Structure 1
């Protein structure tokens, strides 16, 4: 039994590492951290009152163990004893089942005030920690001031230990204190992944409030993005962020940077004047068969458009993508692409149109499943170059014309 539990823990840890690796793939390849180490994530808990006992208002960190009732309310051990193990909120029994995840959370939260106790009164007056504190006056009455905040350095505690996705309400826990998201409870047939106890009946409401109260920065914050989000929603924004790193499409070049910096870099180091395009004007070019990647750049250090050729059993797949983040107003193009056999004239020409060009952060050599021109073997030019004509337009200009 112990061996199975150990194997389960190792599997969960491996899933978390894989998720972190996917989320930080750009940072690892960029190598800005002296070897591509994954940067630890952290978030801000905007309401530290969630980590206080709701009965005595003392810090749960100082009054462990933490117990919960069947309705999901929590209380410290001393309050459970004083209340004769009856929850003051719902009158359900409390004091038998521990809330293990909350015990881990209170240990993982760091408050500046804990490190600077000698400046506590000054910090409360100046609000350096995002507000005041919950204290007691000389008469023992509770004085409630503004919400406090702290830093959570282990955001993995806010992930489902089964699927490793960000926890969302409702969050359930078993009698041993293990938690899981609602979808995983269904997939596991309401059996805890750690101890095989029933799970899915009792919610961990305090944990649900904590997850909603944690704010994290955009993963691209170190590149200049100032957006913040509730935990779990930052990944939706990340790839649409204009500060997402883009990679140089030139062979053997490891440069990466913000899209505008990348365009300047390419123009300064790799640009071929014959491969410049002007929006709205057809560009006829000879693409060497020996090159699987062909890069065009809009004049005046504009966006980079990459043509790629893939050798497939049915022929050549040709794709057209713009190196740009998927942010509004960045790299939004439509295009018309045509391929002609030099000896055939207009009779041997095929075309491909797209109302919206795909945007990518870096060149990938994985065969496309959609959005490509297929050039069959019988239609391929036996010479050393492909005669391609492409006309690229700004989407914004197209929309203005329609209006």
Structure 2
């Protein structure tokens, strides 16, 4: 979570159903878990010394206060209904308000909303760039500033890519809508692992699929998979679906030739699965 000591949070309560009460919390960090420092959401737990814990940390530390255990005190955590009710009353603007989101959410939904918000910012995949914006603006930025660092492709059409041993990520950009995809490449003891992600704020697995072919003179390997969305690329991201190309599969060539097709799963991708 980003530092927020200078923020304020307005909240209202429905104790009087005809009126709301406005107030300001000068330090919203008091509404974060004392262990993982993430925004609290119900259920919330508290020890007799006032330490607050989220449900994840409560389970992690077997229902005992992690703060008190550091000083050899074995204190059990109990549900804190007061904090839970308070979290349901506090309303805040979406953290992505500056990127265009106009929603007002309860503090207890802050974490989930940040993960789902279509205005969640994405980071430029170019290694020397710190530009951050919503996906549409990021696509335009990459087209204008880093056009020499991408490989263009069209949905539903195969294209060939030569993967060098030192390539960790390769940026792919679609011709028509400028969507950005990342080809991830990771070298392991077993061989070369590759997969594809889409740079997007929300999950796009139901929309995009891809096929990767790796061919040699003796045989070929193929992967059909969904393009999972990521907001930031810091290193090769291998999801649960990837193509493992065994060492020596492509002889001693310094590069690996891949044939790739990215499609809308709802349409041509379903047809491609039977070809």
For the residue of structure 2 that corresponds to 1:187, the secondary structure is: coil
Q: Residue 259 of structure 1 contacts residue 325 of structure 1 at CA under 8 Å; is this kept in 2?
A: yes
Structure 1 residues 399 and 392: CA distance shift in structure 2, 3 A: closer
TM-score by length of 1: 0.56
Greater relative contact order (CA < 8 Å, ≥ 6 in sequence): 2
Structure with the higher helix share, 1 or 2: 1
RMSD value, Cα: 3.6
Between the aligned partners of 2:65 and 2:230, the Cα distance in structure 1 is: 41
For the residue of structure 2 that corresponds to 1:379, the secondary structure is: coil
Q: Residue 336 of structure 1 contacts residue 392 of structure 1 at CA under 8 Å; is this kept in 2?
A: yes
1:303 offset after TM fit, Å? 0.6
Between the aligned partners of 2:150 and 2:44, the Cα distance in structure 1 is: 58
For the residue of structure 1 that corresponds to 2:211, the secondary structure is: strand
Query: Could you say which residue in structure 1 is the equivalent of 2:92?
Result: 216
Output aligned runs, 1:123-134, within 5 Å. Answer: none
Structure 1 residues 384 and 164: CA distance shift in structure 2, 3 A: closer
Query: Could you say which residue in structure 1 is the equivalent of 2:178?
Result: 302
Query: Could you say which residue in structure 2 is the equivalent of 1:263?
Result: 139
Out of 375, 385, 403, the residue aligned to residue 245 of structure 2 is 375
1:253 offset after TM fit, Å? 2.6
Q: Residue 207 of structure 2 contacts residue 266 of structure 2 at CA under 8 Å; is this kept in 1?
A: yes
1:243 offset after TM fit, Å? 1.6
Aligned residues: 265
Query: Could you say which residue in structure 2 is the equivalent of 1:146?
Result: 19
Structure 1 residues 385 and 45: CA distance shift in structure 2, 3 A: same
Q: Deviations over 1:59-87 (max 9, x none)?
A: xxxxxxxxxxxxxxxxxxxxxxxxxxxxx
User: Which ranges in structure 1 are unaligned for 5 or more consecutive residues?
Assistant: 1-22, 25-36, 50-133, 135-143
Q: Deviations over 1:202-233 (max 9, x none)?
A: x7554443222111222222222122222132
Out of 214, 227, 238, the residue aligned to residue 357 of structure 1 is 227
Q: Residue 325 of structure 1 contacts residue 360 of structure 1 at CA under 8 Å; is this kept in 2?
A: yes
Larger Rg: 1
Between the aligned partners of 1:371 and 1:290, the Cα distance in structure 2 is: 22
Query: Could you say which residue in structure 1 is the equivalent of 2:208?
Result: 333
Structure with the higher strand share, 1 or 2: 2
Q: Does 1:388 pair with 2:252? A: no
Query: Could you say which residue in structure 1 is the equivalent of 2:10?
Result: 44
Structure 1 residues 310 and 162: CA distance shift in structure 2, 3 A: closer
Structure 1 residues 229 and 399: CA distance shift in structure 2, 3 A: farther
TM-score by length of 2: 0.78
Query: Could you say which residue in structure 2 is the equivalent of 1:168?
Result: 42
Q: Deviations over 1:67-118 (max 9, x none)?
A: xxxxxxxxxxxxxxxxxxxxxxxxxxxxxxxxxxxxxxxxxxxxxxxxxxxx
1:260 offset after TM fit, Å? 0.7
Structure 1 residues 168 and 289: CA distance shift in structure 2, 3 A: closer
Query: Could you say which residue in structure 2 is the equivalent of 1:15?
Result: none
Between the aligned partners of 1:292 and 1:204, the Cα distance in structure 2 is: 47
Q: Residue 88 of structure 2 contacts residue 108 of structure 2 at CA under 8 Å; is this kept in 1?
A: no
Structure 1 residues 383 and 145: CA distance shift in structure 2, 3 A: closer
1:279 offset after TM fit, Å? 1.0
Q: Deviations over 1:39-71 (max 9, x none)?
A: 74442211296xxxxxxxxxxxxxxxxxxxxxx
